Structure 1
């Protein structure tokens, strides 16, 4: 018999690729990677393990992938709710960021976010925020996989004076972050309305030289698109295409405003879309036409956006909203079936943020990034189809186990390596100062 580090026995395994539900199967893990998946009796006969986990009522599946967030913004969760996007940004979020954003702020907010995401079954996230090194260090230390975006923005912030300074900071930081095994990187121009042509060309060139993806808010609101058309004589996506940014490594976030010309650009370029339905709903920004994007063969991922506009980082909730909303918007109950929504929240996200070869599905040789969801629960009983139960019924409180790279992060619903109460105590001081300053504004 072969010796491995861990064997997980589960009532159901949903590997995502192939699309199948494996009943009474087991997964063998060694050196952080999946050694084998097979019927329970076969794995027991072939392998002996240092550790064994028995999951009699659970789905074992890949960890969820949050394809777009601003992790540090957990410190602004609920700060300014029920406001239009511009009021929210200009009168609350940007002023607070101007007063408080620092490496310490980013570290604290990211730590809160990582705890929330891991507890909810997310094992990888795609971040866009200032002081990216602070976010990367937290994710690496806490054992969570991440793609960290180097923000490019024209106007001065606490992080950098302008787009040129952002680009220089990114170039300086890239080698350091490459030393972190759980971290990948992207170039993240904020949006077409906050980065001029020169900054976008710089972002394009740096991404190509360093072989990095580009991660950007695009077509988030009708107002943004109309103003760009009035100013530039073209829609933002057409401008990005003209500047040479769009290809299969470009992740366009939101994309709530698409016409036939935009869809043709998406198809021709091979870009992917990160759909953030709950943030779009809350800010009344519009809604991505998921049914149409699917029909066009455009790659889809799902993200939560930041906790300041969502207000949670709950990927199980997000994928359910995405699946249901697509049906309601299109008038078609088959618009975004459970399997496709789950794939967008796992493998689709992993491929969109540069981790597809390592995670997003349970396959031999891939990293053992997996989660267990207990379906022996009033919300998910009885179980006719475990995939449907995960997508349409399960809550993040049912996530019992989380592994990243084979390392346990959540066991029986409890954190392995951090004290949540200590985390809250450290965050309270930040929250009090932020609230006082926002009230004074």
Structure 2
């Protein structure tokens, strides 16, 4: 019987799973060697065995070895608030996330980020793209939490400068700090630096242009939320006469380094600007369901050749449910009315949760595929479950049937991080106990404004004779 000890030997691993998920689809009869954090060889099992006669083969019957999933847009320091956003109208960042994150000291930011990282690993994500914390003390804490949890992280440093009113020294400090941040993490094996502007209106044109230029020059990602809500689009039109994505284009910030979160409200002109820019998009279907004004047409982005990956937006860290939500949301908003019964054929959502997501995150040459030379970020999935018997179409089945409780092992950078949902080298339950205390303290003192009360109180108020 497979055990975590076998996978933690410290020696190179020769894995022989029944199935391996490649970019072109699932394949049988392959062997995979993991050594020094990377895939050293991927090929026919007989050839791999012959090339490594000193390695014992770890047989993995009824197991799928697949790339780890990639969350191209999340917020690691929002885990303390999770359910506070349920049932709330759009732009909850103004009323919930900004005030809550601002209360976090470095210790609380570390705990929040590590809890988020644990949830992500449990959900099959080996890489997350964090859009930046609003905790003034939290950036280094988030980086430490990602390393300690063992997850790969594209970490955004927020560079907002709106409201500085011509304070040249303050602007210069932001830009100097941004350049230092990019350089300091240039060779970090797990934490990859990125620059972020919360939304275009949170920065001057100069800062937008400078941040996008810095990331383009360094080969990193420039992150911003764009065209997500009607309110933000209308504010931009009133203030600038331009929609948010048009603002990025006008000031020179819409370039190939950009990773745009949401982009759900795009005009035909904006779609053309997006296509021509080389910018990538994070498609967040669960966020659209829970608090959005629209759903991005991911099939249209695919046709236009716009790079995109699936993102959670910090909603729930479950990669298989995310793929299911992406396909179902596309079907309900686009496919049904057009008679499109395929809606991506299953593979589209797998691709944009793995190797195409890696490209969108700026990590396409590092992770996202089971291929020689790439980082060994992967999952071992148990297929010996009723939902996969009989199996006729593994790609579709992963999108519609797979559950995170099938994830037997999670590897990041060649190291076993989770075994059957729990870390192998640190105490997750101790973290949970600490979070339970600190989160209540910080949420209770944050000036959060909710439109609706918690569900039980909301239900009581909806009863006949009760005040609304």
- TM-score, length basis structure 1: 0.91
Assess, with a 3 A threshold, how the Cα gap between structure 1 residues 245 and 20 changes in structure 2: closer, same or farther: same
Mapping of residues 10-409 of structure 1, within 5 Å: 10-16=17-23, 19-48=24-53, 53-86=58-91, 88-98=92-102, 100-130=103-133, 131-154=138-161, 165-306=173-314, 310=315, 312-331=316-335, 332-409=340-417
SS state of the match for residue 288, structure 1? coil
* Contact 1:4 1:48 survives alignment (8 Å): no
Question: Deviation string for 1:194-226 (max 9, x for gaps)?
Answer: 223232133234324544321111110122112
* Contact 1:276 1:302 survives alignment (8 Å): yes
* Contact 1:7 1:49 survives alignment (8 Å): no
SS state of the match for residue 185, structure 1? strand
* Contact 2:212 2:255 survives alignment (8 Å): no
For 1:437, the equivalent position in structure 2 comes to: 445
Aligned equivalents of 1:165 and 1:341: distance in 2? 41
Cα offset for 1:440? 8.6
Instruction: Indicate the RMSD between aligned Cα atoms, in angstroms.
Output: 2.3
Assess, with a 3 A threshold, how the Cα gap between structure 1 residues 211 and 298 changes in structure 2: closer, same or farther: closer
Question: Deviation string for 1:145-184 (max 9, x for gaps)?
Answer: 1111111223689xxx976654343233333323522121
Question: Deviation string for 1:268-292 (max 9, x for gaps)?
Answer: 1111111011012101331101122
Question: Deviation string for 1:214-255 (max 9, x for gaps)?
Answer: 111111012211221222112111111111112222111101
Assess, with a 3 A threshold, how the Cα gap between structure 1 residues 156 and 129 changes in structure 2: closer, same or farther: farther
* Contact 1:133 1:177 survives alignment (8 Å): no
SS state of the match for residue 85, structure 1? coil
Report how many aligned residue pairs link the two structures.
428
Assess, with a 3 A threshold, how the Cα gap between structure 1 residues 43 and 211 changes in structure 2: closer, same or farther: closer
Question: Deviation string for 1:355-410 (max 9, x for gaps)?
Answer: 11111011111111111111211233321122111111101111111111211112
* Contact 1:290 1:336 survives alignment (8 Å): no
Aligned equivalents of 2:293 and 2:226: distance in 1? 12
Assess, with a 3 A threshold, how the Cα gap between structure 1 residues 322 and 50 changes in structure 2: closer, same or farther: same
Cα offset for 1:90? 3.0
Assess, with a 3 A threshold, how the Cα gap between structure 1 residues 104 and 179 changes in structure 2: closer, same or farther: farther
SS state of the match for residue 193, structure 1? helix
Task: List 4+ stretches of structure 1 deviating above 6 A.
Answer: none
Assess, with a 3 A threshold, how the Cα gap between structure 1 residues 34 and 57 changes in structure 2: closer, same or farther: same
Contiguous gaps of at least 5 residues in structure 2: 1-9, 450-468
Aligned equivalents of 2:301 and 2:295: distance in 1? 12
Question: Deviation string for 1:297-353 (max 9, x for gaps)?
Answer: 2112011112xxx2x111211111111211221122233221111110111111122
Assess, with a 3 A threshold, how the Cα gap between structure 1 residues 51 and 429 changes in structure 2: closer, same or farther: farther
Assess, with a 3 A threshold, how the Cα gap between structure 1 residues 439 and 168 changes in structure 2: closer, same or farther: closer
Assess, with a 3 A threshold, how the Cα gap between structure 1 residues 179 and 266 changes in structure 2: closer, same or farther: closer
SS state of the match for residue 432, structure 1? helix
Q: 180-189 or 163-172: which moved more?
A: 163-172
Contiguous gaps of at least 5 residues in structure 1: none
Assess, with a 3 A threshold, how the Cα gap between structure 1 residues 49 and 247 changes in structure 2: closer, same or farther: farther
* Contact 1:151 1:166 survives alignment (8 Å): no
* Contact 1:107 1:138 survives alignment (8 Å): yes
Aligned equivalents of 1:273 and 1:440: distance in 2? 29
- TM-score, length basis structure 2: 0.86
